Structure 1
Amino acid sequence: MPRFPYETVDVFTDKPFGGNPLAVFTDAHGLSDAQMQALAAEMNYSETTFVLPPEDPAYDARVRIFHRTAEMPFAGHPNVGTACVLARHGRDRGGVLRFEQMAGLVEIAVERNAAGEVTGAVIAAPQALSLGIELPAEGVAACAGLGAGDIVTTAHKPVQASLGVKFVLAQVGPEALGRAAPDLAAFRKLEGRNPELEGRLSLFLYARDGHAVRARMFAPLAGTWEDPATGSASATLGALLLSLDGGDEAAYTITQGVEMGRPSLLNVTSRRAADGYRSRVGGACAPMFRGEALL
């Protein structure tokens, strides 16, 4: 019976039982697409990764990312967590890992403490900021159980944005963020009325105090009622805020998962590049479990 080893880590935290859990299958050679999807559903985390040999030997791995119901082209905490797991196995090259993914090449810088132990990682999102459709404040508010007046539109309207994976970004007040709760019927209604979303409606709400941000992410249509730490959305938000604020570079600290009892801390740096606005996102990573899937 084939055995497929996996490890789990808590990402964007330095303590067990915080952050965003991730399962990493460190040698997925031999698994079919259907098996990978079934394993991701079985693990029941927001994402699970599968490490395969790279198509180009100049890179370190091909990493496929699945959430409970579909494959993703790119995601933040899966890359940070997978990099930490592989680096603990000595698979980085001078503190750097390069992953082939559907959205493009992802480069990760591994972080170590004075004793040489892997403590975290920082990833560069594979694409520059792109913006999609704007959505009505009342529809977005309904998805989060809020009123249209809770949506702050001073800087921007609720907008679909991406650095490799699409999110709807919407600003709210601090008090509204705390009482937000996903409304599945409202999600279905908003998604159905906007075919430009292409069936993906992941809502990233944030409240801002300068460069300190609190955030929550809801994606119930994809099986994630709430996500404790969303690196790709945080990186996208950083790029959007820099594009709105002006300047060449900015750093943001994003706190997420507090309402879930899984506090997470994400560090985002965004810069204006020749091809647009780009971001890096990083944080700590705590090892949790090891096991095998018997298939």
Structure 2
Amino acid sequence: MSGRRYAIYDVFTDKALAGNPLAIVFDCDGLDQAGMQAIAREFNFSETVFVEPARNPAHNAAIRIFTPHYEMPFAGHPTVGTAVALANDIGLSHDTATLLVLEEKIGDVRCAVTSDGAGPGFAEFDLPQLSEPLDAELDEAAIAAALGLGPHQIGFENHRPSLWSAGVPFVAVPVAGLDVAAAIRFDGPAWAEMAPKRDNGAVACAYLYCRDTIGHDNAFHARMFVPGPPVYEDPATGSAAAAFSGAIVAFDQPQDGVHTHWIEQGIEMGRASRIRLEIDVANGKTRSARIGGHAVRVAEGTLAV
């Protein structure tokens, strides 16, 4: 079938040509996995979403998320971008949230999309899986070397490197400040040699963070690197922020209640992004958590294949 509609959104930003770009291909009923993978490779974004009819008629859509090389069970910026895109098709209400349920590999993901009537949509979704710590022996000296840093530049306050997953595992590495974050020179092969592996054999990615920020209303500054192949930096990573929620609760030990954290990412790449992370804490543990951000449509068209 030819003529499948697609759109490109910049996600976790309220301005075009910033944030994390996402391709969304609609009307994918009948498109097989090999075809999806080939189209994702053609777009060559960090992720491409394929929208299929929902299995449950009460839900809005089933989505599949592909990198140029493999399928993902869950990812944050594809969820936010697709929720905004589908809500735009429905017609965003300026007074109430548009509620959607997206069927993903990880499970059903509930989303709420709002708009101020003039600017981009804002989507927030409940984490389908809360962040959990994973057992791993993390060598701080080896981590520092793979980042082009010295061991003394790893960690701040009581924060130390740790491995977390809310569906996708990440090594959360605290660094001493903005100057250290800017100085990172990521060595993909060195990271791949020492970092924990996922169930599918892929290496857990590196999520670097510090409490110093460039935006005064942000709580954390972050960078995320994929060890490859190919090696690349991601400008905004919702699944990493979801995993990071576990580290926040473990190290900061927040009081019971709702805690909102804005995370800036992508600044070193010239793709500034902002991710909103909300964590509900009860009895010192995460009861629920949400990821939110804006998304802006920058292009649309049809595929000729």
TM-score greater than 0.5 by the shorter chain: yes
Contact map agreement 2:153 2:180 (CA 8 A) in 1: yes
Work out the number of aligned pairs and report it. Answer: 292
The more displaced of 173-182 and 230-239 is 230-239
In 2, the alpha carbon distance for the partners of 1:92 and 1:55 equals 24
Give, in angstroms, the shift of residue 153 of structure 1: 6.0
Give, in angstroms, the shift of residue 188 of structure 1: 2.6
Residue 182 and residue 209 in structure 1: after superposition, are their counterparts in 2 closer, same or farther (change >3 A)?
closer
Contact map agreement 1:12 1:20 (CA 8 A) in 2: yes
The more displaced of 76-85 and 278-287 is 278-287
Contact map agreement 1:239 1:279 (CA 8 A) in 2: no
Residue 114 and residue 289 in structure 1: after superposition, are their counterparts in 2 closer, same or farther (change >3 A)?
closer
Q: Which amino acid aligns with 2:135?
A: I
2:28 equivalent in structure 1: 28
In 1, the alpha carbon distance for the partners of 2:115 and 2:229 equals 34
In 2, the alpha carbon distance for the partners of 1:61 and 1:47 equals 18
Q: Which amino acid aligns with 1:230?
A: T
Deviation track 1:97-149 (CA, whole Å, cap 9, x = no partner) reads 1111111111111011146x652211111011211133211222223222222
Residue 24 and residue 180 in structure 1: after superposition, are their counterparts in 2 closer, same or farther (change >3 A)?
same
Give, in angstroms, the shift of residue 181 of structure 1: 2.2
Residue 155 and residue 278 in structure 1: after superposition, are their counterparts in 2 closer, same or farther (change >3 A)?
farther
Give, in angstroms, the shift of residue 161 of structure 1: 0.7
SS of residue matched to 2:145: helix
Q: Structure 2 matches for 1:150-161, cutoff 5 A? A: 150-152=153-155, 154-161=157-164
In 1, the alpha carbon distance for the partners of 2:30 and 2:133 equals 37
Contact map agreement 2:203 2:227 (CA 8 A) in 1: no
Q: Which amino acid aligns with 2:268?
A: E
**Among 124, 127, 135, the residue aligned to 1:133:** 135
Give, in angstroms, the shift of residue 199 of structure 1: 2.0
Contact map agreement 2:11 2:295 (CA 8 A) in 1: yes
Deviation track 1:161-204 (CA, whole Å, cap 9, x = no partner) reads 1112211111001221111122122123114xx45674232110
1:236 equivalent in structure 2: 243
Contact map agreement 2:188 2:226 (CA 8 A) in 1: no
Residue 282 and residue 222 in structure 1: after superposition, are their counterparts in 2 closer, same or farther (change >3 A)?
farther
Deviation track 1:251-276 (CA, whole Å, cap 9, x = no partner) reads 11101000000101111111136984
SS of residue matched to 2:135: strand
Give, in angstroms, the shift of residue 239 of structure 1: 3.5
1:7 equivalent in structure 2: 7
Contact map agreement 2:99 2:113 (CA 8 A) in 1: yes
SS of residue matched to 1:238: helix
The structure richer in strand per residue is 1
Q: Which amino acid aligns with 1:291?
A: G
1:217 equivalent in structure 2: 224
The more displaced of 66-75 and 151-160 is 151-160
Deviation track 1:208-264 (CA, whole Å, cap 9, x = no partner) reads 149710000000315350000111211221342123322223111101000000101
1:179 equivalent in structure 2: 183
Deviation track 1:25-46 (CA, whole Å, cap 9, x = no partner) reads 1211121101111111211111
1:293 equivalent in structure 2: 303
Residue 257 and residue 129 in structure 1: after superposition, are their counterparts in 2 closer, same or farther (change >3 A)?
same
Q: Structure 2 matches for 1:62-211, cutoff 5 A? A: 62-90=62-90, 95-114=98-117, 119-134=121-136, 135-152=138-155, 154-174=157-177, 175-191=179-195, 194-195=196-197, 198-209=201-212
Give, in angstroms, the shift of residue 277 of structure 1: 4.7
Q: Which amino acid aligns with 1:143?
A: A
- Is residue 2:257 matched to residue 1:257? no
Residue 232 and residue 206 in structure 1: after superposition, are their counterparts in 2 closer, same or farther (change >3 A)?
same
Q: Which amino acid aligns with 1:14?
A: D
In 2, the alpha carbon distance for the partners of 1:63 and 1:30 equals 13
Q: Which amino acid aligns with 1:59?
A: H
The more displaced of 164-173 and 132-141 is 132-141
In 2, the alpha carbon distance for the partners of 1:223 and 1:124 equals 31
Normalising to structure 1: TM-score of the pair? Answer: 0.91
Alignment RMSD, CA only? 2.3
**Gaps spanning 5+ residues in structure 1: where?**
none
Contact map agreement 1:8 1:290 (CA 8 A) in 2: yes
Identity %: 38
SS of residue matched to 1:169: strand
Contact map agreement 2:131 2:242 (CA 8 A) in 1: no
In 1, the alpha carbon distance for the partners of 2:18 and 2:126 equals 23
SS of residue matched to 1:221: coil
In 1, the alpha carbon distance for the partners of 2:228 and 2:91 equals 36
